[in-house]
Structure 1
Amino acid sequence: MAEVTASRLSPLGKPYSELKHIVNADGQNLYCKYWEPEEEPIALVVLVHGMGEHCERYDRIAGALTKHNMLVFAHDHVGHGQSEGIRLDVKTFQVYIRDLFQHIDVMKKKHPKLPLFMVGHSMGGTIAILAAFERSSLFTGIVLSSPAIDVNPVTATPFKVFMAKMVASIIPQLPIGSLDPNDVSRNPESVKSYSEDPLVYHSAIKARIGAQTVKGMERIRNGLSDIRWPFLLQHGDEDKMAEVSGSRLMYEKAASKDKTLTIYEGSYHELDKELEEVAAKVVGEIEEWIVKRLPSQNSQEAPEPEAAADDKDRKEDVEVITATAEDRKEEAEVNTEDVQPEVPAESS
């Protein structure tokens, strides 16, 4: 049952009549955010935020895209930010995907001819991938920032995962763990902002959302070889919140012709809020990747979701950006290699 006050106020005490919002299929108000360009939009970009945070934290990425006349939109998931719902609890992960499609359909109805891109961070990356599994033809391209795809084999052993699922079915809101703000970024200002943000969830992660997220990650790993849509993966190799192994696995197994993996060495979880020299590169890469795939920016149409390609004909581009710990003021070394890696055998 949704956590709704009699007067339908947001978690900050504002009536939804004064906030931009949509009402989902369960009758819950979801707070919406729109970053509109100064001129007529040429593309749509939907941002999908991560666990325990909210969409207002994406001004920098949105600003980089609106200057190219893209209309950027997002909403706070159920139980997050300024949306209704029990904090950090969801009966099924599919609720997040359902609500995402509802918002996308509203925007596509208003702008039916515009290409649509999606940017998903952390758990938002999990949601984005699962959404693309269901309706890949909607998206011209997808950016995944530190997506939650793989579990930590040390902290999430098969036994612990099994027990978490069992507990979730009995005591769904039982606290099972917490997120350390210091793991968000190496930038002290970003850590401070995260820690002091009243719309960020600062209490323990609950059993049901943890179990539902793990199930979503399992669905992704089982379907990686079916991915044929264009994507950019970004991940820090010191990320303690989402395993970088998941991004590597997706890059290796996906059948997409247009795919890029960028590993930011030494970086933590929220790459757009990392040390400034890293954050600038991260946002710049997102901006450049999307702009290059706008139909109007190319002599050819933007890449469409494609049929499975012969592995011998695939040519992937792997970028590894290294920011050394010894001298953060130096420009990061960029190594770009065109490789044809051996395609790993499918798991049974």
Structure 2
Amino acid sequence: MCAGCCCPRKGDRVTPQGLFYKDFPHFVNGTGNYIFCRYWEPKTPPRALAMILHGAGEHSGRYLGIASMLTKHSLFVFSHDHVGHGQSEGKRMSVSDFRIYIRDCLQHFDMVVSRYPNLKVFILGHALGGSIAIYVANERQSYISGVIFIAPLVLLNPDSATPAKMLCAKVMYHLMPNLTLGYMDPRWLSRSLREVKNFENDPLNYHGPYKMKFTVQVLQAVAKLEKILPSITWPMLILHGDADKLCDIRGSFLLYKKASSIDKTLKIFSKCFHQLHREVPRVQGEVYALIGKWIDERLPPLEQ
């Protein structure tokens, strides 16, 4: 028996990194996993809420910069690590059903909205988080003031999404769900070497190979998105770099074209990579300013 109180007591749950969940914001999802949360409060009373949905293989802590910017615009910001990511429980980068990501986001969304019932919500989704954001926003349309997309995953690569290849992927999924499909090259994230190193050195990011089980769940969810796009009516801001090698920019064009929203803006950043919010400083600053201005224009003016 060890001395002191540093060891877990029976019933205590710890993050994959060994921290006690009881010491940090979290919720328990529908399958009993503990989901690690982050909250950023403005110095003034919030005039809206902002939910950040991170991309595959990363975690909510990587959005501190965006969250801090949003709080300066008097937004209460909340986020969580998707199951199997960061400091949340679950097998790393593995999910039995894509719907679990959506379900957890809806649960967290409802928790925060119940705390601030009179405030509207903005959602910011990056890459995989953009896919999830579409599903979440469409199921909570009456609460949504707008959705900001940064390089959203909306369209499958046509070379890998032929009917024959999709059928093959489903067969492989059932036969060898743990088959590895290669690694994501961090150099594709940003032209900033500092940001690439930041990703590589962050132990909360996933640095292993992508597996068939995860990939097929994502492919199937994304394949269904195009049918949903015409039902979108909420305001949207879509940002994408034209040198993005991870999420097909044609998906952003499709989202802009197919959505029924009257209020929609598409901004393409020349020669920029996947994570515009972590691009070279000039681009990052432009992205932050654009998001802040877009949100301000859709909210009542701040009281002096």
Query: Which of 94, 101, 115 is the matching residue for 1:89?
Result: 94
Provide the residue aligned with 1:291 in structure 2.
Answer: 296
2:20 is equivalent to residue 40 of structure 1: no
Amino acid at match of 2:262: K
Cα-to-partner distance string for 1:119-154 (whole Å, 9 max, x where unaligned): 000000000011123222221100011000112223
Amino acid at match of 2:116: H
Partners of 1:163 and 1:177 lie apart in 2 by 17
Q: Answer yes or no: is the 8 Å Cα contact 1:55–1:76 preserved in 2.
A: yes
Provide the residue aligned with 2:115 in structure 1.
Answer: 110
Aligned-residue Cα RMSD (Å) equals: 1.6
2:142 is equivalent to residue 145 of structure 1: no
TM-score (norm 2): 0.93
Task: Point out where structure 2 has 5 or more consecutive residues left out of the alignment.
Answer: 1-9
Provide the residue aligned with 2:184 in structure 1.
Answer: 179
Provide the residue aligned with 1:238 in structure 2.
Answer: 243
2:15 is equivalent to residue 15 of structure 1: no
Q: Which moved more, 1:174-183 or 1:100-109?
A: 174-183
Q: Answer yes or no: is the 8 Å Cα contact 1:165–1:207 preserved in 2.
A: no
TM-score (norm 1): 0.81
How many residues are treated as equivalent by the alignment?
294
Partners of 2:183 and 2:143 lie apart in 1 by 35
Partners of 1:156 and 1:195 lie apart in 2 by 30
Shift of residue 217, structure 1, vs aligned partner: 1.1
Q: Answer yes or no: is the 8 Å Cα contact 1:165–1:208 preserved in 2.
A: no
Shift of residue 41, structure 1, vs aligned partner: 1.2
* SS of residue matched to 2:224: helix
2:129 is equivalent to residue 124 of structure 1: yes
Distance 1:174-1:34 versus aligned 2 partners, 3 A rule: same
Provide the residue aligned with 2:4 in structure 1.
Answer: none
* SS of residue matched to 1:234: strand
Shift of residue 297, structure 1, vs aligned partner: 6.1
Shift of residue 221, structure 1, vs aligned partner: 1.1
Task: Point out where structure 1 has 5 or more consecutive residues left out of the alignment.
Answer: 299-348
Amino acid at match of 2:29: N
Amino acid at match of 2:62: R
Amino acid at match of 2:221: G
* SS of residue matched to 2:274: coil
Distance 1:224-1:284 versus aligned 2 partners, 3 A rule: same
Partners of 2:228 and 2:250 lie apart in 1 by 16
Shift of residue 69, structure 1, vs aligned partner: 1.4
Provide the residue aligned with 1:266 in structure 2.
Answer: 271
Q: Identity across aligned pairs (percent)?
A: 43
* SS of residue matched to 2:273: coil
Provide the residue aligned with 2:287 in structure 1.
Answer: 282
* SS of residue matched to 2:84: coil
